Amino acid sequence: MGRHARPCVHPRVAKLCLSEPCYLRGWHVKSRKRKTIDLLTPDEVANQLKVSVFTVRRWINQDELPAYRIGRAWRVSADELASWLEKRQKRHEKRTAH
């Protein structure tokens, strides 16, 4: 199997060796795929929903809209925004159905 029979981590660069012979022969363990999270600013959320940024900030401050504080800035996950909108729409449909 050669000198790269197991995952090859080079101590000087502290990452997997991606040299052609090793990588193409499949001697490296495939890394875990990380899920990327699309984060939106309150301005981007306001533009998408056609509301004021102050409304979005109020929703965040009242814990209506799930958001994350990163440093001094707020971010909203695109996936959580979509599920929040669906829940809000269902709640509105229940109110208008009666």
Total domain count for the chain?
A: 1
pLDDT tens for each residue of 12-55:
444 445 554 544 444 444 555 666 778 999 999 999 999 999 99
In a domain, 49, yes or no: yes
CA-to-CA separations, 45 to 6, 8, 26, 53, 71, in angstroms, rounded: 46, 43, 43, 8, 19
The answer to whether position 70 is within a domain reads yes
Distance CA 55, CA 42 (A): 9
Question: Domain range holding 47?
Answer: 41-83
Q: Tokens 């509301």 belong to which residue?
A: 51
Listed in sequence order, the residues at least 6 apart from 79 whose beta carbon sits closer than 8 Å to its beta carbon are: 37, 38
In this structure, is residue 58 part of a structural domain? yes
Per-residue pLDDT reduced to its tens digit, 52-94:
999 999 999 999 999 999 999 999 999 999 999 999 999 888 8
Instruction: Please check whether residue 51 lies inside any domain of the structure.
Output: yes
Q: Quote the CA–CA distance of 17 and 14 in Å, as a whole number.
A: 9
Residue 75 lies in a domain: yes
Residue at 12 is within a domain: no
